[in-house]
Amino acid sequence: MSSNTVKPALYKAGSTPDPEHSMTQAPKATRRETLKLAGAGLAAASMAEAAPAASNSPSTLTFPEVDRTLTDTHHVAEGFKAQVLLRWGDPLFGDAPAFDPLAQTADAQKKQFGYDCDFIGFMPLPKGSRSSTSGLLCVNHELARSKLMFPGTPKQLDPNRNKEMADIEMASQGHTVIEVALRDGTWEVNRNSKYNRRVSGFDTVIELTGPVAGHARVKTKDDPTGRKVIGTFANCAGGETPWGTVLIGEENIEHHFGGDPRGTSEEANHAAMGLTENVYYNWNKYYPRFDMSVEPHEPNRFGWMVEIDPYDPTSTPKKRTALGRFKHEGAGFAFAPDKRVVVYSGDDEVFQFIYRYVSRNPWKPGDDKNNRALLDDGTLYVAQFDAKGAITWLPLVWGEGALTPANGFNDQGDVLIETRRAAKLLGATPMDRPEEIVPNPVTGTVFVSLTKNSKRKDTDFANPRAKNKFGQIHELLPPGHDQGKPDHAALRFQSRPFILAGNPADPDSGAQYHADLSTRGWFTNPDNMTFDAQGRIWLSTDGGTDFGYADGLWAADVTGPGRALSRAFFTGPRGSELTGPCFTPNGASLFCSVQHPADDDGSTFDTPSTRWPDFDPALPPRPSVVVITRSDGSLIS
């Protein structure tokens, strides 16, 4: 492929461009842009500093870059408009109450758009079509930030938080499914759609499936069968399955459980997942199942990938335990040559690992009974890198290697409940906080965003910088990818860096990009990713505020002369994080989540650093989904 042969110049921190550096060594750049306000009563706005793409640029992207910003609103590239489509508290049903921030209830929140929107999946209507003008928007709700949600709450663990606030926090997390349609250039929400649904952390019944279903370590007083869980929360990224469902990842579950796990049967297991007495919420005060000293098995029922059928609002969501238990960021789908399903996922914490699941049986188009069982019967693997970037996929199978009773693993359920410990015993490579892992549908390679790891001392091929504050993007190369026949089920891969993030003008950063990078193009802390129809990467960031600018969206070619030449497309309001970028099938609309606006030091519900997106003194800042289109309706590029 061209990615193996083209040799663009490489821009290293503190150095001049090196035109002899090959693509296998050259990492890639950032992308950030200014967003135009439209909808929700906001006037259209674009950055005056927006620079048009140079006519001689090697990049295939044509949008003018936006400037680096840190303001109370968002900014998009000139020639584009950004519509605020869904805000925290917006009614999702015809009988849902209007949002009243001073009179919130859990019952109301269960019928309203949740907090901290993250992953977005666009599922076309009708099912199985390639429609880009009508579909179901599937959106995760990751966390509840009390100081920005409730008046008179100066900090997250304020002593005045009561049971009703705890219930609202539970109801605000989980997932939303809502029908949307494009009419006359504007996206609209259908609040009377039969498909609309809220899956919450409060009362949604979810089924455990796979090897852990019914296991002794997931049985509780409330569920002696070990097969039914109430709720899902900490839902970060996700993925769309080939059979028309979505997977959503349960990530930072440690925030949600209180009590002292010491002296319980799960003490070491909970410590490995970061569960301690130091809690972010006080749910354990009102619900014993969230107290680890009372119900030590309850946390084992979280930290999974959850499958939801958006086309059937009566269906029971399922926690697919064969995919392992850890802090899931997302789910990247691919096929093996024989059509077995492969799912990539990262464990979003420093020194954790990269995983891959391979189903036992192949996908069969239209055979829902077969396809719905693919995520319950297969093998989970973890990645081990050598000094030259070769990857060996190590199977996490009970009875093999160190995964035996001698090490406390008595069955496959134990291996999956303690996936982290099992992976470490096998010798998996600790990574710099693996977030999204997404196969590129055009190149057949797999891109991994590694957000940062300031605690790293020892370096290696995939994690080349000590005290890494900036993060990087790494590319995994399955055999056959250069012939257009990637074998995602192979036991051996190669890999190469794509971008080492950071400011290349800082010689201490170790950043590496394409030599033609603009001052707007570099970024830090890559997070969520998606690819357009041309195979170009679009990525969001999480941590720009630490470096004095707002997080946003960047894009870059991954092959050809413009490989790793990242360009800035969108920036969010202060205190926010950009997540969940998602294109419609035709590439003309790009959805993204603006998460936790105004989440700055000292910023609260009463005195926020911004009141985005409404800018109404009676309303707090509201996490929202934004949809970006060209002003003329043509494809985003």
> Structurally, how many domains does the chain consist of?
1
Q: For residue 6, is pLDDT > 50?
A: no
55, 156, 148: which is closest to 104 by C-alpha? Answer: 148
Q: Is the pLDDT of residue 18 over 90?
A: no
Rounded CA-CA distance 528/439 in Å is 13
Q: What is the pTM of this model?
A: 0.92
Question: Residue 343 pLDDT more than 50?
Answer: yes
> Using CB atoms within 10 A of its CB, is residue 484 exposed (0-12), middle (13-18) or buried (19+)?
exposed
> Is 448 part of any domain?
yes
Q: Which residues pair with 177 in a beta bridge?
A: 138, 197
| Long-range contacts of 126-132, Cβ-Cβ distance < 8 Å, separation of 24 or more | 127/244, 127/311, 128/244, 130/585, 130/586, 131/585, 132/182, 132/584, 132/585, 132/586, 132/588, 132/589
Tell me the mean pLDDT in the region 600-619. Answer: 97
In a domain? residue 52:
yes
Enter the DSSP assignment of 155: S
Whether 256 maps to a domain, the answer reads no
Question: pLDDT per residue over 113-149, tens digit each?
Answer: 999 999 999 999 999 999 999 999 999 999 999 999 9
pLDDT band for 21, please (50, 70, 90 cuts): very low
Per this entry, what is the length of the chain? 637
What's the mean pLDDT in 406-416? 98
- Does residue 118 belong to any structural domain of this protein? yes
36 has pLDDT over 60 = no
Average pLDDT over residues 487-514: 97
Can you give the pLDDT at residue 478? 98
Q: What is the mean pLDDT of the chain?
A: 92
pLDDT digits (tens, 9 = 90+) for 292-342: 999 999 999 999 999 999 999 999 999 999 999 999 999 999 999 999 999
229 is a domain residue? yes
pLDDT at 12: 66
Residue 181 tokens, joined: 């349609």
Asked whether residue 636 is assigned to any structural domain, the reply reads no
pLDDT digits (tens, 9 = 90+) for 432-480: 999 999 999 999 999 999 999 999 999 999 999 999 999 999 999 999 9
Q: Which residues contact 55 (CB under 8 A, 6 or more apart)?
A: none
The pLDDT assigned to 53 comes to 53
- 548 occurs within a structural domain: yes
Taking the CB of residue 203, how many other CB atoms lie within 10 A of it?
A: 12
Choice between 43 and 70, residue whose per-residue pLDDT is larger: 70
Which pair of structure tokens corresponds to residue 145?
């930030």
**pLDDT band at 230; cut points 50, 70, 90:** very high
Q: Does any domain span residue 96?
A: yes
**DSSP code per residue over 16-41:** --BTT--TTT------B--B-EEBTT
User: Containing domain of residue 315, as a range?
Assistant: 2-251+303-630
